[in-house]
Amino acid sequence: MQSSDSVKMKECITLSTEDMEYLTANYDELARKYDKKWIVISDRKVVAAVESIEEVTNALKKTRHPECAVVEYMTTEPIAMFF
């Protein structure tokens, strides 16, 4: 039998994975629509688009599972990534 925490963690991983898949599949459109904004994704939709990280905190409080929501800064500018 799984503990309650284990079940909640699995649910959170599933929700976050679904939201990340939504972000990946729609990134270009979301970047154009929400350029230079922080977005909060929950339940496979954008539930907030705000300008500051402080506003992200307030937006997360309004989501069903704030600990599982995806937060991303959107930009149409190319980003250099180094590995």
Among 63, 50, 76, 83, smallest CA distance to 19 is for 63
Instruction: Enter the pTM of the model.
Output: 0.86
Residue spans per domain, the chain: 4-74
DSSP E strand stretches across the chain:
37-42, 45-50, 70-74
Identify the pLDDT of residue 1: 54
**Residue 26 burial (CB count, 10 A):** 15
Alpha carbon dihedral 80, 47, 51, 81, in 10-degree steps, equals -10
Give residue-wise pLDDT tens across range 30-83.
999 999 999 999 999 999 999 999 999 999 999 989 999 999 999 999 887 787
